[in-house]
Structures are given as C-alpha cells and as structure tokens.
C-alpha cells in the first residue's frame, strides 16, 4: 500500500478547485498545446519549467481551472446538508447484500444508487470501498450489477462486492432512475453535476462504519471511465482511479469532431463557448491523467476502441509519465492495450482488480472473475 507520504497531497495541490494563488487567466496565459505538461505560467504570462512538486502544484491548479471553465465551477462543499440516506430495497445475493438507496445530491435531488455490502466483512473492522460508475446505458446503476439484460463484461459492481469491497453504484444524471432537467439546474454541465454527485458518494462511503475512509477508489467504463477520471481530478480522497475505454485527447476523438461531448448531460460549453474546436477547449486528457498523479491510475485502452482512439492514449502516456516520474510515482500509472474493441474483458478486469487490491491494501475474499 503506497500513499507516498513523502509527497503530501496538500503540497501537491491535489484538491485545488479554485484559482487561489494564481491570478492569470488560463485561456490567455497558457499554450494551446495541452500535451506540454512540464511548463506552467505566472500571472504576467511568463512560461516556466516544472522542476519540482511545488511547480507541479501550480500547473495542476491551471489544469483544474481549465476544466472548470468548460464544466463550470465545483460548488462550495464547506456547508453541505446531510446525505439523508433512505433505503428503498434490500436484496440478498451470494456473498453480499445489495441495498437500493437514495441520498441527497446536486440541486437537492435524490440520487438513486445500489450499495453493496459484503457478508463476510469482519465485524468491527473497516475495509476498502469503491465507487462503480456505469457506462452510457438507460439501465444506469443496474448495468454494473450482472443482472439479466446488462451488457457483457460490465458486472464490476457485483464483482467488486464479491471480492469483499463495499461498493456504491450511483445513477449518472439522466440515466437509470435519475430524472433531471438540466435547463433548471445551477450546474453549467452534466459533467460537473456528475463530479459533485460522485463526491457525495465518497462522502457516503466515508460515513459508513464498514469503510476505512482512507481506502476508497473509483472504477468506470466508457461514460463511467471518464467520469472516474473527472471526479478523481477533483477529489483527493480517491486513492485509485480505474478508467476502462474512457478517454483519448480531444484531437483524437473522432478526428477532433467533438459533437459527442456537447449534450446537456456532458459539456455543452464545448459547443456554445468553444465552437466545437479541440484547439480552443481549455483542457485536455493529457492534463486530466497528469492531474491524478501521484495517485494510482489504471487505464484499459483497447487497440480496437471505436470511441476513444488508442493512438491518442499512446501519445499521452509518455507525457503523463513525466509527471508521475517527477513525483516519484512511476509505477502508479498503468495503461493496458488489449487487442479488443470498446470492451472490458475478464483478463483486464482481473488486472485492474489486482491493481486496486494492491493500492488499497485489500485481500480479496473471492477471486472473481475466474
């Protein structure tokens, strides 16, 4: 279990969600080449090399500022109302109990979710927990349950519970049972609404008596894959982030055609403010990956992914590795390139679970998938 105590997260600025200490406008003071991770800009627009953790903290603040320009600001979390968790369903399964719950999230809406509680968890001992974020599917949280009708290779909510994790699988806004009118929301994007809600999910897990609040991670596929990265960038409490088929730089997403990103439930400012131009969007996935450092990040990036082009991932990997190396965490960035399509096959899930186990210091109660 490696949390890199020699590089405190506060020093690295891993939870900065404002421009405090940085006066420059990230649109005017930075390069349009978001792959240039090892430079930062001062308030007078001067470019400087990133040479140490303190320099990286400045660069990371600029990344978060760029993300917020597209997604909207993360709301103040200093005075949140109670979660008000309500149990609406209870199901007994082999190895775990699954509760259907709702809890208070964005815009005072109630977030529907499944909470998986392993049966063999030793009494009085706190263990590891995971957020399990679903792909684009009208089934929402049910997609990760392994139930009849769910897509193949998507049962990671159920599988993580079988391995002994407490698992929270929420609906993303507008999927599953989560009905939302984005036009009446205070959020500038569904993506930031998702970040806020997923952070509320971390709040919920940390409050559970079964959960060690220092051993929480997040995993998702496709829509869930990039949302795992987004919430990971904003929430330092997540010690391991797993993204399956969730990202490629914007210029490599369908050749720079960004229409898929601009629905209300994603990031409409990419269209309304930045004119669907990958050159103008003030952040990119090179930076999102680097913003996770030095925490553990595992990416499943298949060679045949029709949605998130592997060529872009392969361009971004060496750039992000420079940041991980700077922070003494080179082994915490793992990217796999299986020869398959937009999928999360069993062998890669096993590798991802082993990575999660190692990071969170978890001994699985069952080795699934077989």
Bridge-based pairing of strands 96-104 and 86-93 is: antiparallel
How many residues comprise the chain? 370
Question: What three-state secondary structure class fits 314?
Answer: helix
Give the per-residue pLDDT at 2. 36
Are 284 and 296 spatial neighbours (Cβ–Cβ below 8 Å)?
no
C-alpha separations of 143 from 228, 338, 348 in Å: 16, 22, 18
The sign of the dihedral angle between the CA atoms of 241, 117, 223, 335 is positive
Q: Which ranges of the chain does DSSP label H, i.e. alpha helix? A: 9-12, 53-71, 156-162, 190-207, 223-234, 269-272, 285-291, 310-326, 346-360
Residue 361 φ/ψ, nearest 5 degrees = 65, 45
| pLDDT by 10s per residue, the chain, length 370 | 333 333 444 334 433 333 333 334 444 346 679 999 999 999 999 999 999 999 999 999 999 999 999 999 999 999 999 999 999 999 999 899 999 999 999 899 999 999 999 998 777 789 999 999 999 999 999 999 999 888 999 999 999 999 999 999 999 999 999 999 999 999 999 999 999 999 999 999 999 999 999 999 999 999 999 999 999 999 999 999 999 999 999 999 999 999 999 999 999 999 999 999 999 999 999 999 999 999 999 999 999 999 999 999 999 999 999 999 999 999 999 999 999 999 999 999 999 999 999 999 999 999 999 7
Residue position matching structure tokens 């990039």: 226
Give the per-residue pLDDT at 120. 81
> Against a cut of 0.75, is the pTM above it?
yes
């Amino acid at each position: 279990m490696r949390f890199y105590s020699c590089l405190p997260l506060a020093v690295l600025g891993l939870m900065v969600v404002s421009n405090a200490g940085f006066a420059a406008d990230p649109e005017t003071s930075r390069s349009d080449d978001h792959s240039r991770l090892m430079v930062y800009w001062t308030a007078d627009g001067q470019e400087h090399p990133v040479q140490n953790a303190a320099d990286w903290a400045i660069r990371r603040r600029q990344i978060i500022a760029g993300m917020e320009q597209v997604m909207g600001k993360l709301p103040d979390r200093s005075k949140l109302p109670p979660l008000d968790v309500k149990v609406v369903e209870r199901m007994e399964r082999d190895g775990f109990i699954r509760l259907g719950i709702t809890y208070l999230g964005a815009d005072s809406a109630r977030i529907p979710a499944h909470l998986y509680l392993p049966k063999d968890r030793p009494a009085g001992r706190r263990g590891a927990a995971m957020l399990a974020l679903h792909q684009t599917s009208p089934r929402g949280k049910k997609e990760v349950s392994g139930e009849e009708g769910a897509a193949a290779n998507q049962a990671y909510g159920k599988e993580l519970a079988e391995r002994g994790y407490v698992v929270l699988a929420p609906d993303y806004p507008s999927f599953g049972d989560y009905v939302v009118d984005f036009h009446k929301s205070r959020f500038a994007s569904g993506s930031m609404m998702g970040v806020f809600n997923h952070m509320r999910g971390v709040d919920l897990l940390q409050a559970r008596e079964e959960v060690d609040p220092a051993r929480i991670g997040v995993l998702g596929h496709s829509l869930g894959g990039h949302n795992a990265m987004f919430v990971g960038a904003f929430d330092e409490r997540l010690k391991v982030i797993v993204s399956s088929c969730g990202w490629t730089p914007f210029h490599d997403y369908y050749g720079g055609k960004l229409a898929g990103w601009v629905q209300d439930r994603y990031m409409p400012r990419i269209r309304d403010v930045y004119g669907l131009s990958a050159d103008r969007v003030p952040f990119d996935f090179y930076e999102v990956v680097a913003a996770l450092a030095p925490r553990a990040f595992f990416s499943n990036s298949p060679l045949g992914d029709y949605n998130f082009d592997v060529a872009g991932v392969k361009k971004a990997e060496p750039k992000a590795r420079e940041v991980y190396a700077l922070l003494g965490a080179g082994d915490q960035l793992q990217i796999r390139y299986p020869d398959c399509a937009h999928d999360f096959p069993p062998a890669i899930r096993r590798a991802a679970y082993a990575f999660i186990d190692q990071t969170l210091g978890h001994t699985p109660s069952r080795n699934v998938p077989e």
